[in-house]
Structure 1
Amino acid sequence: MRYTDGPGTRCETHIDAAPQTVWKLVADIGTPARTSPELQRVEWLDGADAPALGARFAGHNRNPVIGEWRTVSEIAELDTERVFCWAVLDTEGRFGEPARTADDALATWRFDLEPAGDGTLLRHSVRLGPGPSGLSRAIERMPEKEEELLAGRLAQLHAGMEATLEGIKELAEGTVTGVL
């Protein structure tokens, strides 16, 4: 496995709620911050206040190994009640030439929803790269550990994604107090 291959991970869960209910949670950029171990908070940028193609938002992250950092993401694909996808950009050029479009993103995240019986199948995925990131810089410093570094980071991301899906499931199914 190599960073230049665009490695990623995905997970899914069945939710006993209609796609409309799940969509409200998925399309709310604040939902993952409620359930993710890494994403701490988000905020819309440039006057945006709702999902739209090209709308940008900032994410504030914390990881016990990596530390704290801020990202800027742009909504790259949006299909109501079906797909919510955003690309993480390096708008400040922290890792080289600034990544200002989804074509040179540090990572691309997405939720895919599919009606499934009386509920919804929700998939969550991430693809790393193709743009340079903190992870690609670590690989440059330790190329002999590339597979180990990738596997470790993908495992962290996968665990966080599972926690996010579980939180969305609990919120959508009403098993958490104060829901919708």
Structure 2
Amino acid sequence: MNDPSTRPVTGSATTTVAAPIGDVYAAVTDVTRMGEWSPECVECRWVGGAIGPAIGARFEGDNVAAIGPITLKRWTTTCEVVEARQDSAFAFVAEGNTTWRYEFAERDGRTIVTESFSHPPYVGWQKWVYGRLANRRKAMTTGMEATLGRIKHALEN
């Protein structure tokens, strides 16, 4: 059986950056720069002695959800790196719930980067609030598109 209520919530976005794969990987895995690019994550910092991307390294991210100038919610997540393969993939799990993943591929001196997320399906009241009312999946995908666009702009200019 493939019950839709048990399928993870997923989304992805892809862009091509006119920069070497090593530069793109280095920028994305420097989580302290995420506040420059993400429309939701405003700041990140390595914690627990971590200084960079390595499996098991932890960082915190400060996030803000807003509609225009109106802040709806502020929160901090603790994330753990679960994959860090140089110039290939970087992934972390936020609060033990949502997996964020970046995949990198080189093509003709450019870098194709795909950002994706996956988390368990919404249940109970979350199904209505996050799934229908807020359409969180779409908002997260739109956020990834904005993040990748800003990374592209920063590395190409």
For this structure pair, what is the TM-score category when the shorter chain's length is used for normalisation?
0.7 to 0.9
d(CA) in 1 for partners of 2:132, 2:125 = 13
Bigger fraction of residues in strand: 2
d(CA) in 2 for partners of 1:143, 1:118 = 43
d(CA) in 1 for partners of 2:150, 2:97 = 25
- Please provide the CA RMSD for this pair: 2.1
User: What is the total number of aligned residue pairs between the two structures?
Assistant: 151
d(CA) in 2 for partners of 1:145, 1:43 = 30
- State the percentage of identical aligned residues: 28
d(CA) in 2 for partners of 1:123, 1:142 = 27
Give per-residue Cα distances to partners, 1:102-157, cap 9 Å, x unaligned: xxx31000110001112010100000237xxxxx4xx41265667525x7101111
TM-score (norm 2): 0.87
Task: Check whether the contact 1:18–1:120 (CA below 8 A) recurs between aligned residues.
Answer: yes
Q: Does 1:45 align with 2:21?
A: no
Residue 156 of structure 1: SS of its match in structure 2? helix
Q: Does 1:118 align with 2:126?
A: no
d(CA) in 1 for partners of 2:118, 2:88 = 19
Give ranges in structure 1 of 5+ residues lacking alignment.
90-104, 131-135, 176-180
Question: What residue in structure 2 maps to residue 24 of structure 1?
Answer: 26
Give ranges in structure 2 of 5+ residues lacking alignment.
none
Q: Does 1:163 align with 2:146?
A: yes
Give per-residue Cα distances to partners, 1:28-47, cap 9 Å, x unaligned: 10232111111011111111
d(CA) in 2 for partners of 1:59, 1:170 = 22
